[in-house]
Amino acid sequence: MSIYNLFSMIGGLAFFLFGMNIMSNYLEKMAGGRLESVLKKLTSNPFKSLALGAGITIAIQSSSALTVMLVGLVNSGIMEFSQTVHVIMGSDIGTTLTAWILSLNGLSSENFAISMLKPQNFSPLVAMFGVILIMGSKQQKKKDVGTIMVGFAVLMYGMTLMSDAVSPLADMPEFQSFLIAFDNPFMGVLIGTAFTGVIQSSAAAIGVLQALALTGQISFGMAIPLVMGANIGTCVTAILSGIGVSKKAKRVPTLHILIKILGTIIWLAAYMVARYAVSLPIFGRNINAFQIAVFHTIFNIGTILILLPFSHRLCVLVERMFSVQEEEEEEEGRKSVLLDERLLLSPGLAVQQCRDKTVAMAHLAKKSFIKALRVFENFDENEVQKIIAMEQQLDYLEDELDTFLIRLSSKDMTEADNDAVSEMLHSINDFERIGDHAINMAQLASDMNKQGLKFSSKAQSEIKVLKAALEEILSLTIDSFESDDDVLARNVEPLEEVIDDLTKEIKNRHIDRLQAGECRVELGILLTDYITNVERVSDHCSNVAVCIIQTKNSSFEIHGYLNELKDGTQNEFVEEFDAYQNKYVLPEVISLRKKSKAAKKNQKSKDKKEKDKKDKKQKK
């Protein structure tokens, strides 16, 4: 074996890892937010959770990546540790698929149909179709499918390159001498663990072993401990992800490695008995790629079947290893992160988690402002303090979400996820500002209470109508954002225009009352501040609604849309506006202007009558 064969071996491994990484990233990208809905279906049914864990691992082609995601979810408080137990077990089953695909390289037949099942033969066609999709398709989803196909072809090319590079090893006495170390089962487990830990991929480690098996120099006795070690080594990524997280989150990678170690102990004990006590001749025979895939599957499925009845005890054991006292739990709760950075490994899942947090922020903003409106009716200092606490929470949510979403926006995501991130980045500021206006209103109510001031009965009846309209626009906005419904969002702008008209009319009526001496000046200032905050909140609702509509219509232009609405050129808007205008009508009053106009009209009428009388007398 020359130095060039070594270079080919290293290059083959590089292609293999690169192809695996491309496949994993784009499979996860296409799965997108569906991972969120799948994880939310977790129940106490262990078999359903096993299936979910296996399915997600097959989708993203990495049990380590799933474990890291679970660490992030537990560290963020989104999931409980007990929910992850069977998912982790299921991921160990799903990770065996790659070995089965790679084992097809060992197929040898003159039959064309069977021969085409060999990845080495059909992967060039897969690569060609993938490149056609990437270069010829305009849809991003098809481009992603093409990238996955090219990634698979690169992976298989790497496998072929490794197999060709190691084939000369079969005739080298030095290689045969080196394999003696693998014949020691304990050394085999250590080597398998170390090698897999370095490349951080059990699929790649098993692939290298399958390539070496093609030389005809790897026996069952050598391969089995290496497979066991590879399964332990794959936990290195998860262990590294547990650094710097809460004690609860540390339980996830601990459980993963505990399952692998217990499985290795069980199967290694059986191996030692079968090989040295019973002396089965199979351990001296050469193993092929297919048989390696079989044992890899037996090891993982067998381990899960053995440990499944004891899953609750395993969970309790790990919890005791990382026990959390009540005081520590409260401290961890205060220090817990809103969104763990490990979720960035799965952008689709991260987008959904951000959306859940943003929806919670929206509801909190609505609750805080409605609570501020009600403080005017029945002032309570405790309610004011609650509003202040809500506003502080809204500030925290905006800071954390803004930082996380900016980092998330740099990730490779689907077009829908990119739109969702953009929509959230625009909306979180509006939700936070609604909280600021709630503080303003609470302070306004507090000032009125200290001064012993109250709005007049007429002003209160007008505010009642305005408050009802505002509560509806808040509900419309939050509901449309939560459901991502642009049809519902289109109802916001007509109501916002009605609220603007209401605030103008209330201001005019207030001026009339001031002129008539029915209202005090200091109350006028307070009422103006009240109305201004209401106007600002309705404006923020409009901003959110317009953003939803814009996201759903990529060619949508904000200013043009708003101008069309204000010009009254859209019949749908006019109909909605008229409906809201009829729904929210201020109590009938006769303003000073109207009184003045009526008086002038009456005076003119009297003057005209007098003139007519004079004219008649003169004619006579």
Check whether 569 has a pLDDT greater than 70. no
pLDDT-based confidence at residue 335 (cuts at 50, 70, 90): very low
Residues 148-206 have pLDDT tens digits of 888 888 877 887 777 777 666 655 666 556 666 667 889 889 988 888 888 777 887 88
Report which of residues 238 and 94 the model is more confident about: 94
Residues 308-317 have pLDDT tens digits of 999 889 888 9
Measured in whole angstroms, the distance separating CA 342 from the mean position of its chain's CA atoms is 12
Report which of residues 618 and 572 the model is more confident about: 572
pLDDT (mean) for 519-547: 86
Residue spans per domain, the chain: 3-328, 369-589, 590-620
Give the type of residue at 607.
D
pLDDT (mean) for 599-613: 61
Residues 231-248 have pLDDT tens digits of 898 888 778 777 777 788
Determine what percent of the chain is predicted with pLDDT higher than 70: 80
Give helix then strand counts, H and E, for the chain.
28, 0
Q: How far apart are CA 92 and CA 99, in angstroms?
A: 13
Q: Which of 1-10, 122-131, 217-226, 608-617 has the lowest mean pLDDT?
A: 608-617
First to last CA, the chain: 139
496 with 563: CB under 8 angstroms? no
Residues 47-91 have pLDDT tens digits of 888 888 888 787 666 777 778 778 877 877 777 888 888 888 888
Q: Is 45 left (phi over 0), alpha (psi -120 to 50) or beta?
A: beta
Which of the listed ranges 394-403, 447-456, 573-582 does the model predict with the highest average pLDDT? 394-403
428 with 420: CB under 8 angstroms? no
Residues 268-286 have pLDDT tens digits of 999 999 988 888 888 888 8
pLDDT (mean) for 556-563: 55
Which of the listed ranges 249-253, 393-397, 554-558 does the model predict with the highest average pLDDT? 393-397
Q: Which of 86-95, 343-352, 369-378 has the lowest mean pLDDT?
A: 343-352
> In whole numbers, what is the pLDDT of the chain averaged over residues?
81
**CA distances (Å), origin 30, targets 16, 23, 63, 81, 128:** 21, 11, 17, 27, 20
Residue count of the chain: 620
Q: How far apart are CA 464 and CA 450, in angstroms?
A: 22
Domain 369-589, CATH: 1.20.58.220
Alpha helical stretches, state H, 376-456: 381-409, 415-451
Check whether 298 has a pLDDT greater than 80. yes
Q: Which of 185-199, 350-364, 373-387, 579-593 has the lowest mean pLDDT?
A: 579-593
pLDDT-based confidence at residue 539 (cuts at 50, 70, 90): very high
- Rg (C-alpha) for the chain, rounded Å, is 36
Check whether 24 has a pLDDT greater than 80. no
23-59 per-residue burial string, b: 16 or more CB within 10 A, e: under 16: bbbbbbbbbbbebbebbeebeeebeebbbbbbbbbbb
Which two tokens mark 398?
Answer: 């905006």
